[in-house]
Amino acid sequence: MAAWLSSVIILMACLWTGDLVSVWIGHALPGSIIGMLLLATLLGSGLIRLSWVEVGAGFLVRWMSLLFVPIGVGVVDQLDLLANSLGALLLTSILGTVIIMAIAGWLFQWLERTQR
């Protein structure tokens, strides 16, 4: 029980720190993204060991689908708003997918060339 609790506390501390930094920089980046970058930095530097957060992360991943229920209900509640923006949403989704695929392909080719 103590390992689970300490693991979740570390994860939440990174999230809350990310939220504070997000407010401090004027919401240029979401706090959750900053928190994940902070966690990745701490793990990469060795200040936090992976074993310290594995238990809590596993628990959260196991129950992650349950965390999407409120979002799904919110989407269903706003279907009329989404219907008005369907064209823009589709265009953005398709264009974003194509751009991400192109960048990923370019990055892969670049990494392949530099590693030879």
pLDDT tens across 33-48, in order? 999 999 999 999 999 9
Domain span at residue 15? 1-67
Residues 10 and 51 in one domain: yes
Gyration radius of the chain's alpha carbons: 19
Residues 60 and 89 in one domain: no
Q: Please give the tally of structural domains in the chain.
A: 2
Burial degree of 43 (CB within 10 A; 0-12, 13-18, 19+): middle
Cα–Cα nearest to 34, from 14, 53, 12, 49:
14
Residues 49 and 101 in one domain: no
Residues 11 and 60 in one domain: yes
Residues 85 and 56 in one domain: no
> How far apart (Å, rounded) are the C-alpha atoms in residues 66 and 83?
26
pLDDT (tens digit, 9 = 90+) per residue, 64-106? 899 889 988 988 888 888 888 889 989 999 999 999 999 999 9
> How far apart (Å, rounded) are the C-alpha atoms in residues 4 and 14?
16
